[in-house]
Amino acid sequence: MKTILIVDDSATTRALIRAVIDELGDVETVEAASGFEALKMLPQQDYDLIITDINMPDINGLELINFIRNNARYVHLPIIIVSTERSEEDKKRGMALGATSYVTKPFKLPELQEIIKRTLGL
């Protein structure tokens, strides 16, 4: 059983991502509605993958990625950025900080599914 943490302030987007993951079967999802919530949830269990938005009201996705990459416990944790097409610049910064890959919103469900499968080695 793998566990994925979905971080996005939009409940709609989280639901869409969850729907994509549910189709994969043996994968559990945990959701955080902000970067801040994600920080609180990180130490609570082990995750196999983080999927995060960038523009969020308190702690943004870049700050979250930076934190994860600079923390020995999470250093190898894969991260997928899901962000809008306008944040091209933000996405580049995210990749520079060590995100594994990114998907542009609005995304095609099979595309995201494919990337998740590849990242988790399913």
Partner 1 sequence: MKASKKEFIAEAEELLEESQRLILEIQDTFLTGLNPDTINALFRSMHTLKGVSGLFGVHGITTLSHALETLMDEVRLGKIDLNQDVVQFLFRNLDILREMTDEVSKGNKEGDAEHYVKDIEAFRASQKGQAGTDSQISAIDESIMKVLSEYEEHRLKSNIREGRGIYLVKAAFSLDTFDTSLEALTSAVKAKGELISTLPTSDNVPEGSIGFNLMFGTTAQAEEMKKDLEFDIDTLVSPRIAARAPAQAHVEAEAEPQQQKQDTHLKSTSTTVRVDIEKLDRILNTVGELTLAKGAIKRIGTELLEHYGQNHLVYDIHKISQALERRLAELQDQVLEIRMVPIGQIFTRLAQVVRRYSREIGKNIDLVMYGEDTELDKYLAEEIVDPLMHLVRNSIDHGIEPAEDRKRKGKKETGTVILKAYQQGNHVIVELRDDGAGIDLVKVRKKAVEKGLLEAGSEPSEKEIIDCIFAPGFSTKDVVSEVSGRGVGMDVVKEKLSAMGGYAVVETKKDIGTVFMLTLPITLAIIKALIVRVGSERFAVPLTSMSETLIVEHKDLQTIEWKEVYYLRGEMLPMIRVSSFFNFEPTKSERSFAVVVGIGERKVGLLVDEMFGQSEIVIKSLGDYLKKLRGFAGAAEIGKHEVILVLDTESLIDDTVVKQRGISNV
What is the contact surface with partner 1 in residues (CB under 8 A)? 9-10, 12-13, 15-16, 33-34, 36-37, 39-40, 43, 54-55, 57-67, 70-72, 86-87, 89-90, 93, 96-97, 106
Nearest distance, CB of residue 52 and partner 1, angstroms: 12
The residue (of 40 and 117) whose beta carbon lies closer to partner 1 is 40
**Could you tell me the end-to-end alpha-carbon distance of the chain, in angstroms, rounded to an integer?**
11
The residue (of 2 and 51) whose beta carbon lies closer to partner 1 is 51
